[in-house]
Chains A and B, each alone.
Chain A
């Protein structure tokens, strides 16, 4: 495609052509109308003037006869820029006036005629147009009064040529402007196309250029950029998920395989084989668990679960989860308390929020440590709270365990990050990740705070459910 061909094919250029045609036609019509009316107006003026003069002259004739008429006409004819006058006898012999010659036969027909004439004081061969009226005077004399039409024609020609010029200028300027605008738009669209090509080629960090003028192309570019950002985040998430699937699943798979190999190599009897097989099943259950957690996070991340959100009471969730874990905590010498008396209505996915809170409680029990480690000998305590705060509902779990150093806190919330100190402990390491993903799905967030001592994990949810991103 040539550059010019591309230019002519653009929507902008086609629009330019349409507008150009419309405006040119409009200009032509306007000037044509102007020209026609000007001409008519001048003709009317001539008619009036000539009529008035004829009335005046015939009055002179009535009062003073032919002699007086001739004197008056002689006087008038000599003035510069005067009308045309001619008085003849019945035979056509000129008595007075300033007309040298006329188109033959004009004098014979009383009334209005357009004619070619020559003034008396002009050289032979000069020709002008005039509009004349021939009037039959009583007594056989004829009176001709007329006005030169050259002025009218000149004006008419000026208007017509002005029309031609303006149409030409409209066309030229319109084309030039159209080309200019088209090229500008085309250049921006080309830049966007170019960027989108590199993005399609795999560089998702690219963004469409925004000129900053706030026009429609900018708005389009801005929206597309937001979309690209979302796509990049999703792709990034996908990459992280696959990286972590690789890590979180390959490690236990390797362990599983090693155990099987070892069992084949060293087991001597049924009891040992049986133990190895049971071990294998246990290990694969752990794998399934990790896999489910990863899928759940991916689902929460993708926002699919937004479809089945409903209103429920977060305080009831806190009580339910607290009740589910209380015996477990008790068995470990930890006292688990629930403070969720007042209803805390939220809109969301009950199952996911329950699981997120369960993960936090599970973590707290895991890390709160046994009784013997407690600072002052009192039983370690975990408090699960649900309370409303402003336009948010907070679900929190506080423990008195070792906590997480401030420097590590933001990392711990990041997707799939496992802190060094927790790698030795059991668990998929996805508990906080899931809680965080669930919080974000609901338009909220997961934060880790210092419980002095210990850790306080908080899921903050907006009261009315997630705010839909406006289109």
Chain B
């Protein structure tokens, strides 16, 4: 199996987007990967649906008729509804992003985006998947990462990592079994929100891979073609 497939449980998603074509495309694409997506075409309708609840993640376009995306999220947060929300926007600048996150959004994706990027971010956002924040020890297969002592072990063998490599592995293991894109790594591990032109992340990953996978029969760090990377126990 050259490509690793993430393990998925079905999610209920709400897409608030006024562009019918884009919304239809998303609904269909999410259905294909096993998720259920509802669609609202304006801010008011979206807010009403979101208030009824039961969604795992909200995908909110920033500019909407009747009520803009940020205000929808603000209204939900005011009512104590903490459903994770991803903001889609044609405004891709850093300050727009900051504004979006400040308004209560949990992630921000500028248009145009690739579906694999959106999917990866949605799955990381979903509460059903991303509940490993409090763990101090991450474990994937025989790979162990101790967040307190900063020790990494594969089997009995201790692996020495540079600080950045440690943070990279930590992020990957926190979202073990989920696809993590290059942009997500750049944003979360390096805190950069720009496009570094050449794909520098790939080189960092291959360095990390040579440290954790080299010499072991079972690779843990997988490349997901056209999307990003995923760490998971292939033997399971």
**A residues within 8 Å of B by Cβ?**
278, 281, 285, 288-289, 292-293, 295-296, 299, 305, 307-308, 320, 323-325, 327-328, 330-331, 349, 351-352, 354-355, 358-359, 362, 365-366, 427-428, 431
Contacts and interface: CB of A to CB of B under 8 A. Distances in A.
Interface in B76-108: 92-95, 98
A308 B95 contact: yes
A25 B140 CA distance: 101
Contact of B112 (A288, A354, A355, A427): A288
Nearest to A308: B95
Contacts of A327: 200, 203-204, 206-207
A293 B112 CA distance: 14
Contact of A351 (B92, B164, B194, B226): B194
A365 B198 contact: yes
B196 A358 contact: yes
A427 B200 contact: no
A354 to B, nearest CB: 6
B8 interface: no
Interface in B178-236: 190, 192-198, 200, 203-204, 206-207, 226
Given A288-B112, A331-B203, A307 B196 contact: no
Contacts of A320: 190
A327 B200 CA distance: 8
Interface residue range, chain B: 20 to 34
Interface of B: 92-95, 98, 112, 114, 164, 190, 192-198, 200, 203-204, 206-207, 226
A354 B191 CA distance: 11
Instruction: Please give me the 9 A-B residue pairs with the lowest Cβ-Cβ distance, nearest first.
Output: A327-B203, A355-B194, A328-B203, A351-B94, A328-B200, A362-B197, A327-B207, A308-B95, A331-B203
6 contacts: A293-B195, A295-B92, A296-B93, A327-B207, A328-B203, A365-B198
Chain A interface main SS type: helix
B112 A351 contact: no
Given A295-B92, A308-B95, A351-B94, A362 B198 contact: yes
A354 B197 CA distance: 13
Given A305-B95, A355-B192, 16 more contacts: A281-B226, A289-B195, A289-B197, A324-B192, A324-B196, A327-B200, A330-B203, A331-B206, A351-B192, A351-B193, A358-B194, A359-B197, A362-B196, A362-B197, A428-B197, A431-B197
Contacts of B197: 289, 358-359, 362, 427-428, 431
Contacts of B92: 292, 295
A165 B164 CA distance: 96
A200 to B, nearest CB: 32
Contacts of B98: 308
A285 to B, nearest CB: 8
Contacts of A427: 197
A308 B94 contact: yes
